[in-house]
Chain A
Amino acid sequence: MIPVTFSYHKAESVGDAVARIAGNPEAKLLAGGHSLVPAMKLRLAAPGELIDITGLDELKAITVGESIQIGALATYNDILHHHELIAHLPIFGAAIPHVGDRQVRARGTFGGCIAHADPAADLTAVLLALGGHVNATGPAGERSIPVEEYFVDLWTTALAPDEMLTSVVIPLPGDGARMTYVKHRHPASGYAVVGIAVVVDDNGPRVTITGATSKPEHLAGAEDAISAGINDASIDLAVARATEGVHINGDLYADEEYRTHLVGQMVKKALQQIVS
């Protein structure tokens, strides 16, 4: 499969890349390429111009300080192998092995995942559970988008067409924070049929979902059920209330009823991991 013809430009700086996409709806940024290139080969995407940002080393850094900043071009493996980050945010250690395969994790980037916002991606739910903000640069300069406002719909984020995601900033969790990610994977594609991220810290419990919804969302019923503590009774209640107020999508592989059942089971599994 051969993509539609396009022109290719290797960006020399963030400013260069942003200038290229400004006013050019035909242009797409190319990072790890492990979502975009397959989509181009299937001709689901046909950008007229590719702006290759993989040479922008300033976007590859991961820094751990008062918060954790992950550069847009940090790969899945860069994150997984960053011991200090994983020590603070072990949820990445739980989730990243679920992403793609070893070749995908070596090339695919966290920033690309978050900008692409695939409804069955794993790390979208992880980011929503952790909170923080997404930094973007556009023609008007830099801005910071709270994670809670960032995911808009299927493959749609708060990023403007002429904005480029440059980094993601995640607050350090408090002492004693517990977190995990569990997934029921599609046996062929490996994508999430249902993925559940749970983070419990001083700011209360967060339970988020991917795979079964159009965008990552909080499961407010489950969060409320465990707000006073996680025990057998509150886990049962969280399972019962898991899809409260949330629209669960069905498709050819898993209809709404089955996926709704899976959501409860994944919530149960995740919460049991949190207390074990």
Chain B
Amino acid sequence: MTTDHIHVAMTVNGVERSAEVEPRTLLVHFLRDSLGLTGTHVGCDTSQCGACVVDVDGVSTKSCTMFAAQLQGANVTTIEALAADGTLHPMQEGFWAEHGLQCGFCTPGMIMSSIAMLKENPDPTDDEIREGLEGNFCRCTGYQNIVNAVRHAAAEMREQNSAD
């Protein structure tokens, strides 16, 4: 038993990544500082604001509230993976088309949470969108356009799925 650095390895955006980290290293710091994936933001740092949301093994997760050491072998997806092939994800398109942001700081978390929400509920009402984003704060208070963006993306994603 030691508080020394430990070797952590996980799959991030489809690529095996590893680093030597302290046990107290939060997932968000592993992503940002060890891997240079700075699209995942640190907002409140008290598990409330959702700027740090990523997908961990299919579960929408606040990466400021798990330690990297817990995620040995996990499969993590961050905002950087969404447009990896140069084409924006429909949710990113939605935020663009509906101007679902002002300063943009909360946007990565909003997008990651919204994609997770649509996996469970592909056709949410506006109320369901607001409930689904209860763990994401926008301090510019741009919520109305965020709801519009998610609705826009949901319609696009339903259309794509029905065309498949």
Contact = CB atoms under 8 A, between A and B. Distances in A.
B113 interface: yes
Interface stretch (B58-66, B81-89, B95-103, B142-150): B58-66
A8 B46 contact: no
B138 interface: no
A231 to B, nearest CB: 33
Central interface residue in B29, B116, B131, B135, by most chain A CB within 10 Å? B135
Interface residues of A, number: 32
Contacts of B132: 102
A189 B46 CA distance: 10
A102 B60 contact: yes
Contacts of A104: 47, 62, 135
A105 to B, nearest CB: 9
Contacts of A10: 70, 72
A5 interface: yes
Interface residues of B, number: 33
Interface in B23-81: 23-24, 26, 29, 45-48, 50, 53, 59-62, 64-67, 69-70, 72
B53 A37 contact: no
B23 A50 contact: yes
B160 interface: no
B3 A103 contact: no
B123 interface: no
A165 to B, nearest CB: 19
A8 B67 CA distance: 10
Interface in A224-253: none
Contacts of A174: none
A37 B65 contact: yes
A113 B154 CA distance: 34
B3 A5 contact: yes
B62 A7 contact: no
Contacts of A107: 59, 61, 65-66
Interface of B: 1-3, 6, 22-24, 26, 29, 45-48, 50, 53, 59-62, 64-67, 69-70, 72, 113, 116-117, 131-132, 134-135
Interface of A: 1-10, 30, 33-34, 37-38, 40-42, 49-50, 52, 54, 97, 100-104, 106-107, 189-190
5 contacts: A30-B70, A38-B47, A38-B65, A40-B24, A104-B62
Q: Which 10 A-B pairs have the closest CB atoms?
A: A101-B135, A8-B23, A101-B134, A7-B3, A3-B24, A38-B47, A8-B69, A7-B1, A103-B62, A103-B135
